[in-house]
Amino acid sequence: MTSFWNEKRIVVTGGAGFLGSCVVEQLRAKGCRDIVVPRSQEYDLVHMDAVEQLYRDHAPDMVIHLAARVGGIGANQANPGKFFYDNLMMGSQLIEVGRQRGLKKFVALGTICAYPKFAAIPFKEDDIWDGYPEETNAPYGLAKKMMLVQSQAYREQYGFNSIVLFPVNLYGPRDNFDLATSHVIPALIRKCVAAKEAGHATLTLWGDGSPTREFLFVEDAAEGILLAAEHYDGSLPVNLGTGEEVTIRNLATMIAAEAGFTGQIDWDTTKPNGQPRRCLDVNRAKELFRFQAKHALRDGLKKTMQWFLANRHNLREVTF
């Protein structure tokens, strides 16, 4: 516990969401009592007038920008233009108005989708510009990556203090379990539970199961964000992850076992795989602000499954 957060007013965009609610909880635990969570009904951050109103109304010391228009492969394929425009405008305008108003620090959350499709494994921050992202989520990934360009340009010209973090895929309690828009872990959890309860002998999943991914438990991600917010002041991009790679096939097997589904898993190879491999080099985060994830994947999956089973009847569907 430090006094760093005690007297600061912090705006957390997306603070009512999956990751944001975890960040807000940890901020409160660290002694921060002046936290603003803007809701989209009041402040549509895609529009400049709403961004300006947010800064006028709350005069923050720091903005932690977690709000995003995001989803899995299907959602990205259905909404490439919306995902690009909305994410680009939110990030760009929040930084620009923050710069105009003398904001002390801006913390931006990028995405693993910003990395090149065929980046060398593990993904190193210095390789982030060495190719085009995987096509199904490139508009979203590039929109978020523009915050890195803006952060570096504004630091050089204006001395504006902003940092940009690049997390791997997140998972955990309170995730989005809507099959139309969710990411892979919540989608697999929901499908495996449904197949088990229906007594199905088989379960069909997208792709061929060969791609690899890395996953970061949401509580660990929140801790990493707040460590960086407190201890890091630079515009070099920083990965947040575990450094542990798992195939989608093995992930599905783990989740099926956790759900108690004992049937056969089939793979629909007419559906896209997405990026071939994802795994981060996480050394920079360790060196700059001593972040290291605490949850092993199996432990995090168990917690996530338990939360889903306890709360699934109260979940809302997500649409764009």
Tell me the sheet residues that pair with 62. 10, 105
Tell me if residue 230 falls in helix, strand or coil: helix
Q: Are 71 and 79 in contact (CB under 8 A)?
A: yes
Tokens read off for 143:
């929109």
Task: Determine the straight-line distance between the first and last CA of the chain, rounded to whole angstroms.
Answer: 39
Q: Could you give phi then psi for residue 309, rounded to 5 degrees?
A: -65, -35
DSSP at 179: T
3-state secondary structure of 63: strand
Contacts of 126 (CB under 8 A, 6+ apart): none
Neighbours of 313 (CB within 10 A): 6
Q: How far is CA 163 from each of CA 154, 155, 184, rounded to the nearest angstrom? A: 11, 10, 28
Catalytic residue annotation: 140
* Distance between CA atoms of residues 236 and 227, nearest Å: 15
Query: DSSP per residue over 79-130, as a string?
Result: -HHHHHHHHHHHHHHHHHHHHHTT-SEEEEE--GGGSBTTPPSSBPGGGTTS
